[in-house]
Amino acid sequence: MEHKETVLVTGGSGFIASYCILTLLRKGYNVKATLRTLQKAELVKQMLHEGGLRDLEGLSFVIADLQQEAGWEQALAGCRYAIHVASPTPHTEARSEDDFVIPARNGVLFVLRAAKKAGVKRVVLTSAFGAVGFGTVKTSPYTEEDWTVLNDTVFPYQKSKTISERAAWDFMKKEGQGMELAVVNPTGVLGPVLSGDFSHSIQNIKQMLNGSMKACPKIISAYVDVRDVADLHVKAMTLPQAAGQRFIAASGEGLSLVDIARVLHKHLGAKASTVPTRELPNWLIRLMAVFNPKLRAVAPYLGMVKRASSQKAISLLGWQPRSTAESITATADSLIKFGIV
């Protein structure tokens, strides 16, 4: 029996992480998944079953928390690779930017330091498009050469992603000799949900389907399927040409919310009766935002055009993302199947 390589996946119960685990186990790797508490182990197993995987023999769990350095060396012992997906998501009571930024940056450094000590060959960091395309206005698609410019228009989450990714590259330059880093920067993540825990981008589709979004704000963003994000992580982990590179994960350059609504109508027919197809003018949303906290959160994004190019991952790694329409319909079908909408 050949010795299987072991991969550490951090934040094992998350949406992207669970698909990374699925993909790795299917490819015959052993996976150690970190959780803050072992109470979520059953949920992860359930999600993997939901994803079609019956044999979980190669999977084990280990407790580690991004808020503290203890536990990471032990977690990474015996691992050939690490995929660092987890980002400490501050609870709603997060008051200041520091509540986002400090745990995210420290967490990345805890993982990299421990990985270096454990003799890990390569770490793949899940960053975000939030570290690429904010603080600037650009009509052409953003590429890996772009970095978010930290100014007053950038939200704490995007700041945390930018600062923590920069910290990772700095660490590699100063202390990373002998270890490799690759970074994946996903755009809005869609795809079939495996539980009630899913990405922020799916909330838009959920709100369209449950009727809570009455009309579409004018926002254009790029999206990507979670299954393709996981595939890109594994390519970034194993292919020699991925070392030292960052990769935007996007399927097509971008869609508006009205475009998404149209796909839902075409796919679901009568089941999409609550999905709004009109676009609201920006001034009206800004006016309504004065009285509606939900809209207040949307207001800064109005009129935003964030197109992205994945040409680098496609040409350098042979990555082939599925169409955004396919991701949108798979997302909707899974939300209906789970009774989430």
Residues classed as catalytic: 161
Distances (CA, A) of 98 to 10, 70, 103, 128, 292: 22, 21, 8, 18, 26
User: Do 139 and 305 form a contact (C-beta atoms < 8 A)?
Assistant: yes
Backbone angles phi, psi at 301, to 5 degrees: -85, -10
Roughly what angle, to the nearest 10 degrees, separates helices 200-209 and 324-337? 70
User: Do 33 and 17 form a contact (C-beta atoms < 8 A)?
Assistant: yes
Adjacent-strand bridge partners of 223: 188
Rounded to whole angstroms, how far apart are CA atoms 124 and 143?
19
Closest CA to 60 of 4, 6, 124, 1: 6
Q: Give burial (CB, 10 Å; 0-12/13-18/19+) of 278.
A: exposed
DSSP alpha helix (H) spans, the chain: 15-26, 41-50, 72-76, 97-118, 156-175, 200-209, 226-238, 257-268, 282-289, 293-298, 311-317, 324-337
Rounded to whole angstroms, how far apart are CA atoms 102 and 97?
8
Rounded to whole angstroms, how far apart are CA atoms 103 and 85?
14
User: Do 259 and 216 form a contact (C-beta atoms < 8 A)?
Assistant: no
